Amino acid sequence: MIPSFSPDSWSITSAGNAGSDRRFVRIKAPVKNDSYILVVWDSSDHDWRRFLSIQKDVSAHVPFLPAIFASDDGHGLILEEDLGALTLKKYCASGAATAASMEAIYKKALDALVQWQQLDIGASATIAARDMDLEMFLWESDYFTQHCVREYFGLEKLVSAEWENERRAIAREAAGLPKVCIHRDFQSENIMLAAEKIRFVDFQGARRGPAGYDVASLLLDPYVKQLTPAFSGLLLEYYMSIAPGNIDERSFKICALQRLMQALGAFANLSIHKGKEWYRAFIPVALKRLELMADGQSMFPVLQEIVRACGEACKKKC
């Protein structure tokens, strides 16, 4: 797979893991700058083939995805380009991040996102075959209800018939929005800063969906504390200026409600059931941002009540 590779001289170190069960190993030459990432991933996972297929189809049209040099279904291995270790999340948490530099980098990420969203869906049959549809949006709010509301905060009493009707209304509205190519998990851990360029990873969930979903994923990302309402608002204005007609205030908020419910469900599930306790730290931030998006949405009073109750419970539990 790798010319001149020698286990005696090349360094082999962990390059991290993901919210899933994948593992990443960095394989680096002793002298040259040759470096690769080996993804260790169960090839029976239904997203294994999607990952390989999307990379093959889309890399000819956009420059954001890592190159793949080889894959081994039998052993669950993918050898890919090493994009370095600097994620957008790490950059924002570093001493190098200033208000001006963050604005510039986030605008670059939005430029790249618009190019991704403008992809001809026909370029990838794999992307075209999967939609953010009503079923998927309902799954997200059920994920939030089960793991965050019921299990994490113990607020079973708020899971009512009224909430069932309301979450279905939110999901129907989200599912009815115009669809483009979306990444589906476009947040700061999945955006790499490599040689001053924006690169995307963890793209196996790409599908057709509303443009506002990825925008909300980026601009309301609970991993980045600097995403204040003012900063996110500035970036949203920038996005709307470079992609006129893709979203409006209402569609952005609907997508934001869906995305933040999904994130809260994931943080709770990963911390409760997967032993990944560090995700608990992001629950208060995600709740605050969900509350901000829900405020003023008079059509969804039950969601407002649930989020406020979770916020109160979080003061004791989080």
Provide the H-helix boundaries in the chain. Answer: 46-58, 88-93, 99-117, 125-128, 134-143, 161-175, 211-219, 229-242, 249-273, 283-294, 301-317
* 149-207 pLDDT tens trace: 999 999 999 999 999 999 999 999 999 999 999 999 999 999 999 988 999 999 999 99
Q: What fold does the segment set 88-317 form as a domain?
A: Aminoglycoside 3'-phosphotransferase; Chain: A, domain 2 (3.90.1200)
Query: What percent of the chain has pLDDT above 90?
Result: 88
- Picking from 247, 232, 248, the residue whose alpha carbon sits closest to that of residue 188 is 232
The pLDDT of residue 296 is above 90 = no
Terminal-to-terminal C-alpha distance of the chain: 46
Task: Identify the pLDDT of residue 86.
Answer: 96
28 - beta bridge partners?
A: 11, 35
Give 11-81's CATH code, choosing from 2.70.98, 3.30.70, 3.90.320, 3.30.200.
3.30.200
Lowest mean pLDDT, pick from 19-28, 146-155, 202-211, 213-222: 19-28
The pLDDT of residue 317 is above 90 = no
* 218-235 pLDDT tens trace: 999 999 999 999 999 999
Looking at the chain, which residues constitute the CATH 3.30.200 domain(s)? 11-81
* 42-71 pLDDT tens trace: 999 999 999 999 999 999 999 999 999 999
